[in-house]
Amino acid sequence: MVYQDHLTKYCVLRPLTSKRAAEVAFQLMDIFLLLGAPQIVQSDNGSEFTASVITELKLLWPDLLMVHGKPRHPQSQGSVERLNCDVKDMLTAWLGDNNSTVMPMGLRFVQFQNNSSYHYGIKQSPYKALFGTEVKVGLRSNTLPTEIIERMVSEDDLIAAYATSPEDQETAESETSTPAENQEVETATPPKDQETADTDVPDAQLRTIQHNIQVQRKRAADGQLAQAESMVKHSRLEHVPGNPSDNVTIPIPFVDRGKGDPRNIMGVIVDRDENDLYRVAVRARILKGRYSRNQFNLCTQQLHSIEDMSRDGEVGLRQAVQSESRCGGQGYAKCNCAASGKQCRTNRCKCFKSGVKCNSRCHSSITFANKN
């Protein structure tokens, strides 16, 4: 399961033994309790995401809103779909490099590598966008010199290295150079001003960290906005906007059409809103929902007018295809009637019951009455 924060692109990968809704809900709840629940959770229309056990998460987080993309339209959640491809390639490479078949262990390394890598859209790594700092990997992420790190053996060496850091050495040298008569005797109880300064240090550090996180998230949002504007500009150059009464062809998904049906359905643009989303009418009625410009193609010739199309109500794409199909829409209806063709004139025959003629796949070479 791939979970991604849309702003920071920070991802969480979880291995699943199945796609049951109960297991998916358990993993989502674990992520929410770790990172906090978002305001909006978007997913596709898989049954594991639309089950009641998923919607019951709103009982724990009432402000949580769950939305689902359009059916058979992975572009609705394009960011996480692209991440799926990257995770698959990275996991395959990790398993091959380590000669391993333990996928759950590989997912941990893939998650860390993806979150610590530079992301072109947000102009930084997802880890830095979420936590305000780059990921730390051992002592080499600190400011200690390499030769000191290589000589470390125990924890005492680490404490001694920080105690003799360059800043401390400069402070010690400055104190040593001060004349003895000007040095003050150190008291057991620090002054009140010193106590205030010491207690303010954690608060100042906390405010600095919070400021860095806000700066990096602002930078990530600006990067995504610039990337979105570039994509919209490129799309408008590639796809010429359509106008009402223009003829269009809408590709029909394979699952919504029969093998003998055309791959596209003709329609006419009814209107276009301020977000460049179009309503398209076909002979059956107006198609449900609105279509973006990349979901249809403009026809070079005017074959139909708006008056030729029915605008009484709305209809789904599958029902519109079935109404214009000559063979029932989704595939051919096939019957297995006995040798006698007379049985094809009763409702026992699948073809007769569906209101279509028997085709060449029915009865083999035997003569039948309800032939096409």
Q: Helices 103-115 and 78-97 meet at what angle, rounded to 10?
A: 120
Phi-psi map region of 250: left, alpha, beta (phi>0 left; psi -120 to 50 alpha):
beta
10 phi and psi angles, rounded to 5 deg: -75, 130
54 phi and psi angles, rounded to 5 deg: -75, -45
| 121-136 confidence digits (pLDDT tens) | 899 999 999 988 888 8
268 phi and psi angles, rounded to 5 deg: -130, 135
> What integer pLDDT is reported at residue 344 of this predicted model?
77
> What integer pLDDT is reported at residue 76 of this predicted model?
81
C-alpha 311/C-alpha 336 separation (Å) is: 40
Hey, what long-range contacts does 52-55 have (CB within 8 A, 24 or more apart)? 52/21, 53/21, 53/22, 53/25, 54/21, 54/24, 54/25, 54/28
> What integer pLDDT is reported at residue 342 of this predicted model?
56
The pair of structure tokens assigned to 180 is 């003895």
Judged by DSSP in three states, 77 sits in helix
**Full set of structural domains in the chain with CATH:** 2-115 (3.30.420.10), 120-138+203-238 (no CATH), 247-324 (2.30.30), 332-372 (no CATH)
Hey, which residues does 3 pair with through a beta bridge? Answer: 12
* Threshold 0.85, pTM exceeds: no
pLDDT above 70 covers a percentage of the chain that reads 81
Give yes or no for a contact between 16 and 49, defined as CB atoms under 8 angstroms apart.
Answer: no
List Cα–Cα distances, 353 to 28, 198, 256, 345, 358, in angstroms.
46, 86, 20, 9, 11
User: For the purposes of burial, counting CB atoms within 10 Å of the CB of 9, is it exposed (0-12), middle (13-18) or buried (19 or more)?
Assistant: buried
Q: Is the pLDDT of residue 162 over 80?
A: no
Give yes or no for a contact between 318 and 268, defined as CB atoms under 8 angstroms apart.
Answer: no
User: For the purposes of burial, counting CB atoms within 10 Å of the CB of 55, is it exposed (0-12), middle (13-18) or buried (19 or more)?
Assistant: middle
| 229-256 average pLDDT score | 86
Among 11-20, 165-174, 178-187, the range scoring the smallest mean pLDDT is 178-187
CA angle 362, 253, 280 (to 5 degrees): 120
C-alpha 144/C-alpha 162 separation (Å) is: 8
